[in-house]
Structure 1
Amino acid sequence: MIMNRSAVLLLSAALAAVPVAAGAAEPDAGASPGTVRQDGVVRGAGSAVARADVVLYQAGTERGAPATVLGRARSDAKGRFTITYERPRQRSAVLYLLADAGGRQQPVRLAAVLDGPRRSATRIVVNERTTVAAAYAMARFTDGRSISGAYPGLQNAAATAGNLADVTTGKVAAVLAAPPNGSETSTLRAFNSLANTLAGCVAGKTCEELFRLARPVGGNRPTNTFRAAVDIAHHPGHHVDGLYRLSLRERPYAPALAAAPDAWTLALRYDADGRTLDGPGNIAFDAHGNAWIANNYVFNPDPTQPTCGADYVVKLTPTGENAPGSPYRGGGLYGAGYGVTLDPKRNIWVGNFGFQGSGCPLDPDPLYRSVSQFRSDGTPLSPPTGWRYGDIMQPQGTVSDRRGTIWIANCGNRSVTRVPNGRPERARNIPSPSDGLVKPFSVAVDTRGRASVTGNGSDNVLRLSSRGEPLGYVSGGGISAPMGVASDSVGNVWVANSGLVDIPCEGTGALPPADAGLDPADGAAEASVTMIRPDGTTPAGPYERGGLFLPWGIAVDGDDNVWVANFGGQRVAHLCGARPRTCPPGHRTGDPISPAATGYTSDGLVRNTSVQIDPSGNVWLTNNWQTVPLQTNPGGHEVVVFVGMAAPVRTPLLGTPRS
């Protein structure tokens, strides 16, 4: 998909992928010293910005650490500047520019995120587009005053900024400008509208109004344009209509939105090389932020042509390219569904559910009785038939705990398989008590090492001890056709209640879209999220707002707030979690953070099964099925990434999330 990158984006992506490349240097390895000359120009509202104070920084290397000033300059009458500085020794160093202008109060602050110090000296443009790119990609690493953060989140965020704006030209970056983005979604237009919102202030006309509208509830009023952009990124559903009207006052950037969005989010679509993803089902991130994706079907762009189950797993870099050697084949892979995880040894495990399109001539029965295991370089560790110990059948959720024990939900035989310390020969099958867990779908491990398994066909959750002993069922509290399950850092487990999805296990289950005939605004009547407390109790009722339509996947971010993917409605929901102090003021557990009626929508979404949070705070969703699917090949072909929306999560995710 992604060709002809700018030098900035190429180097940033390389830095993000360095540790997984053979013979590559570690993030703290030294770069050759030397003096670098950085030329640039500051532009705003379509004109040069003269007499701007331009400062080049090296971002702090830990959360809250101070940034280091590398050099200063003042722009001339044509906005031009030159900064000469000493090259930082760290190869993973992230550099950025802040340019302040506008008189004594300097309400204009424009920003640009650069690459690491190995970049050759090229001309840099700092403008409203680069400012919006910096504000969104770095949203979880800045308060608008400085930028800091740890590897790999900070470095990957810098690379993602290069997917939005090209700092060598100040124009829209190639990734945002071209399919599957560009004119195919509204993100490009929203990006330009955000830049126009800042342009009015840069022109000296709308600063007071911008700062009033961007001010967070209970927060301080921003005093410059970069801080305002960061506040909008942090609170995208606040004063949406007013900010849209402001974007119409000065319009140097086009194309722009023709109407106000439901929220000021930026969602990028990644399709790897455009010939790989077909029905991406779930995502697991490795320690460097690379995305490992379970893929349902063999790629075929024609939905009328029958396709069989995918025999490969896909690995994307943090900026959406196919990683070297990806996709990886072998190890018994076939038709993976929702099951993909990394263990503490960096091995990848994939559950072989046996998905295939109608008309595929293969018999899936002998193929859906295993999990596959790979090294981090894509080499299969499992045999050609996969690991078959533990009576695996139609595996869905597949997760690792912090000890490396693998838990597998067997959707086809009402059981769970436990693989102690990742040793397949020791796998043990755990039948559900009284056969009461029907269509086990997803697994989450809590703070005590206990596993919670959703029963899609039994409207319950089975809890197991860390050793695999059944602890009993949880039902009620709104649990209805549950799908995904996730744990938080304080011991709770969160359940996504689809209300009506019937997974095709045990030879049953509706294959057509479950939302046929649903109200397009409201979704399933019982769509909700249930919180299960550490003692197994639930609140009296489930949480039902925030844009829940047909919940499927669910994830908890580094602030313990909850994100829900929907298999319909083209939206992701964001709910306040168990630590309300991390939520906007006035929110309580379960309250919607995303717009209550719609969630965060995007026309780049289709039918989503998974939502996961990466180390940069980006929210990734899988476009699993087309909106109007043909059963011969119903798969979608992208993952969708909402930039900078969530509190970052340390990866790989082993048990409960860590910030």
Structure 2
Amino acid sequence: MKIHRLSLPVTVSLVGLIGVLGLSGCSSNFGDSANVASQTAMSIKGIVHGGQQGLVGAHVYMFAAGVDTYGEASTSLLTAGPTTSSDGTNFFTTTDGAGNFNIGGEFACTANTNVYLYATGGDPGVGTGDNSGSGLLAAVGECGAGNTFPSTVTNIYMNEASTIAAAYALAGYTTDPTHISAPTAHSTQAQTGVTNAFTNAVNLVVQATGAIPAKTTAGNGTVPQVELNTLADILAGCINSTGPTSSGCATLFANAPNTAGVLPTNTAQAAINIAQHPGAHVSALLNLATNAGPFQPFETSATDFSVGIIYTDPTISAPRTIAIDAVGNAWITNANSNVVTELSSTGKVLSGTNGFGKGGLFSPSGLAIDATTGTAWVTNLSTPGLLQPNHVRTLNSSGALSGDFSGSSINLPDTVSVDGLGNAWIPNTGGVGGAIIAGVTEITRAGTIPSGAAGYTVGLVNQPVGSAIDASGNLWMASSTVANVLQMNGASTANTGSFTVHLLSGGILGGTGLAIDNGGNVWVASTGLVGLLGGINKVTTNGTVTSVAPYQGPLLTTPTGIALDSAGHAWAVNNSTNALVELNNDGSLAASNGFSIPSTAGSFSIALDSSGDIWIPNSAPNGTSVTEIIGLAAPVVTPLAGNLIAPYGNPASRP
């Protein structure tokens, strides 16, 4: 790694810096963001702040996320110089009597790596000196060429809020404060996932002031301010204390273990553990937030601490399906506005004021993305006019309407799946001649239709509404009315003469969603009938169908959409309770109470991205939003078809 030292660091606006350092406490009354130079910043100044004042003598480390493997150590970036010291392993800079620090040219970072700050210890001013239980994080962002960062990151405010933001946004790639990593040097998907995660941290906190914003950077996302205040206050009681044996620290640490049950030793690790297990020890943690906390107002009741951002746009109206593309953008079909909305990984609208496909889509429902070309395939449940056929349309990667397909057995197509070769597979809910025998339409990337005018007749599946393709190229479909799931063998090789019907167990029927894990097991979500007989089935690789508690139960009365993450966990949205349910791969509940989905009713689908975020539409007839739950799942390769091509090969692969 080339070491780059500057003799003259970039000058920072003193007016802006004084605005940051002059704060009397880390309350919700923060000053304006610091002014920064317009040129690229090659020095970083900031403050380490906890409780009601700066932390004196805190050690500030600068790390880049590891780039070779999961779980490896982050790379220390600070180098020897007049403002740095060594702990024997890594260099750090020390905060002054007001908690300020200044990192000049004494660091070396590789272009395109993602950088963060980690502060340990410091005297909070309570009369007992250094608090070893204090640990704070702040995401900096992506390093540019020549050790540079955008001018907007010249000042970094490290406090409880920046720590919560980093812990949640980076949860999918984090083991502990010094082990944040992914094979970004070897995988474009991993690079995308990590970079987007770092960017999302800035959606949750104002980098220069440590304030929790009401809106996201783009302005169309609502940030859960009160919940983030609460989480920050939970940390503050420990940071502004005598140390690990204080009641604030001891209670926090006892109720924030990691997956292995190991308790944290500082607040940064505690924040990470809470972000990765937001449904655990909620009541005990909530009791740590009080009226005396620096962040107000705070929650007085909570069922979980998952963090969801709510995005709106005039084009989002009765959203149905969300698909994530290769760069982490969300493509959303809207049944009422008859367009597709594209949002960036941070929620910025990328599809303009009118959306994509205006005038060419009619009650769009299903959407799937070609991993190679970026083409989006969109099914339409309505028609252009009376007695006209249904259409399947394509949008190119820029969102322009391109292909238009009708006839060829296309009849009320609800969902679509794309295989590794770019072929689109469309189950048709209209059936054949009113019978209960369904047809499937295959359309190649080149636009030919091998399935012919009649489509492929695939057996006793009436109104298939969920579909997915496994690693062997088999197309799987669920029936919306009868208790079965159908495997169309060798679909991607057009071997259409063979299929297998799997009868769902446990009395479950009315399939709505279907997804496949990285072990080849097929998971089917079924809403049942009139609130009864709903649940989740798992078809194992040997064809065994299982449906045992808690595949059915109070949390899974009417599950609709379902998705699998790279850890093998199933995520399902329960339509009647608007809850998000996480199942371990053996079917046991990973969180006993599930997770709340803010501003959501009647979700139709669910999608996961390469940062570990979960995207859920508010599919009610008057729904006008989608929710992104930050860092809750294990990251997956996107789009879904990308899991089926090299270097991957199984659904729900790790980036």
The aligned residue for residue 641 of structure 1 is 628
Q: 2:398 aligns with which of 369, 377, 396?
A: 377
Q: Which residue of 2 aligns with 1:200?
A: 237
Q: State the partner residue of 1:232.
A: 274
| 1:470 to partner: Cα distance | 3.8
CA shift in 2, pair 1:250/1:211, >3 Å: farther
Q: Find 1:561's aligned residue among 543, 562, 569.
A: 569
Does the alignment pair 1:115 with 2:152? no
Per-residue deviation, residues 82-126 of structure 1 (Å, max 9, x unmatched)? 001378675533221111114677211101001223311532210
Q: CA deviation at 1:594?
A: 2.3
The offset of 1:218, in angstroms, is 3.6
SS in 2 for 1:609: coil
Q: Which residue of 420, 435, 439 corresponds with 1:415?
A: 439
Is 1:214 the counterpart of 2:256? The answer is: yes
Does residue 447 of structure 1 match 2:471?
yes
CA distance in structure 2 between the partners assigned to 1:496 and 1:430 by the alignment: 26
Question: SS state of the match for residue 143, structure 1?
Answer: strand
1:238 shift after superposition: 1.3
Q: Distance in 2 between matches of 1:88 and 1:291?
A: 34
For 1:539, the equivalent position in structure 2 comes to 546
C-alpha change, 1:340 and 1:546, in structure 2 (3 Å) is: farther
Q: C-alpha displacement at 1:566, in angstroms?
A: 2.3
1:70 equivalent in alignment to 2:77: yes
TM-score (norm 1): 0.79
Query: Residues 550 and 490 from structure 1, CA distance in 2 versus in 1: closer, same or farther, beyond 3 angstroms?
Result: same
**Per-residue deviation, residues 472-523 of structure 1 (Å, max 9, x unmatched):** 32123133101100011111100001012xxxxxxxxxxxxx6xxxxxxxxx
User: Is 1:138 equivalent to 2:170 in the alignment?
Assistant: yes
Amino acid at match of 2:469: V
Change (3 A) 1:297 1:365: farther
For residues 63-90 of structure 1, the C-alpha deviation after alignment (integer angstroms, 9 at most, x for no partner) is 3344332333211111111001378675
> Structure 1 residues 201-210 or 246-255, which shifts more?
246-255
Aligned-partner residue type, residue 61 of structure 2: V
In structure 1, C-alpha distance between the alignment counterparts of 2:624 and 2:93, rounded to whole Å: 46
Separation in 1, partners of 2:314, 2:623: 12
Residue of structure 2 equivalent to 1:525? 532
Distance 1:470 1:85, change over 3 A: farther
Distance 2:213 2:270 in 1: 22
* Aligned residue among 406, 414, 422 for 1:388: 406
Equivalences for residues 496-645 of structure 1 within 5 A = 496-500=525-529, 524-539=531-546, 541=548, 543-545=551-553, 547-577=555-585, 589-595=586-592, 598-625=593-620, 634-645=621-632
What residue in structure 1 maps to residue 63 of structure 2? 57
Separation of aligned partners in 1, 2:423 and 2:139: 40
| Residue aligning to 1:269 | 310
Moved more, 163-172 or 421-430: 421-430
Match for residue 244 of structure 1 among 286, 289, 293: 286
Q: Deviations over 1:327-364 (max 9, x none)?
A: 22268422111343334322111111229xxxxxx746
1:515-567 Cα distance to aligned partner (Å, 9 max, x none): xxxxxxxxx33221000122332126461147223211110011111000122
The size of the alignment, in residue pairs, is 555
Q: Which residues of 2 match residues 222-371 of structure 1 at below 5 A?
A: 222-248=264-290, 250-259=292-301, 261-271=302-312, 274-298=313-337, 310=338, 312-323=339-350, 325=352, 327-329=355-357, 332-354=360-382, 363=385, 365-366=387-388, 369-371=390-392
Note the C-alpha offset of 1:406.
1.3
- Whether the aligned pair in 2 keeps the contact of 1:546 and 1:591 (CA below 8 Å) is no
Q: Does structure 2 retain, via aligned residues, the 8 Å contact 1:410–1:416?
A: yes
Given that residues 395 and 409 in structure 1 are in contact (C-alpha distance below 8 angstroms), is that contact kept between their aligned partners in structure 2? yes
Of 509, 515, 519 in structure 2, the residue corresponding to residue 480 of structure 1 is 509
2:132 counterpart of 1:106 = yes
SS of equivalent to 1:494: strand
Show CA shifts across 1:380-434 (max 9, x none): 221xxx2125321111110111122211111122321122455334344545455
Structure 2 counterpart of 1:491: 520
In the superposition, relative to structure 1, how do residues 109 and 249 fare at CA in structure 2: closer, same or farther (>3 Å)? Answer: farther
The CA distance in 2 between the partners of 1:179 and 1:153, in whole Å, is: 22
For residue 248 of structure 1, report the CA deviation from its aligned partner: 2.4
Shift of 1:610: 0.9
1:469 pairs, out of 486, 489, 497, with: 497
Q: Judge conservation of contact 1:331–1:372 (CA < 8 Å) in 2.
A: no
Equivalent in the alignment of 2:484: 460
- Give 3-state SS (helix, strand or coil) of 2:43's partner: strand
Cα offset, 1:140, TM superposition: 1.0
8 Å CA contact 2:522, 2:538 repeated in 1: yes
Partner of 2:278, secondary structure, is: coil
- Could you list the runs of 5+ residues in structure 2 that have no partner in the other structure? 1-38, 79-91, 123-128, 144-148, 183-189, 432-437, 645-650
Against the structure 1 CA distance between its residues 89 and 172, is the aligned structure 2 distance closer, same or farther, given a 3 Å change threshold? Answer: same
Q: Once structures 1 and 2 are overlaid, which stretch shifts more, 466-475 or 239-248? A: 466-475
CA gap 1:91/1:389 in 2 versus in 1, 3 angstroms: farther
Q: Name the SS for the 1:36 alignment partner.
A: coil
| Structure number, greater radius of gyration | 2
Contact 2:410 2:441 survives alignment (8 Å): yes
Letter of the aligned partner of 1:268 in structure 2? I
Distance 1:642-1:35 versus aligned 2 partners, 3 A rule: closer
Any conservation in 1 of the 2:303–2:595 contact (CA below 8 Å)?
yes
Q: Which residue of 1 aligns with 2:5?
A: none
Q: Does the Cα contact within 8 Å between 2:440 and 2:458 map onto a contact in 1?
A: no
Distance in 1 (CA, whole Å) between partners of 2:271 and 2:336 is 40
- Structure 1 regions of 5+ residues with no counterpart? 1-32, 299-309, 356-361, 501-513, 515-523, 578-588, 626-633
Question: For the Cα contact (< 8 Å) 2:218–2:348, is it kept in 1?
Answer: no
User: 2:370–2:418: 8 Å Cα contact kept in structure 1?
Assistant: yes
**Native 8 Å contact 2:77 2:109 kept in 1:** no
* Identity in percent: 30
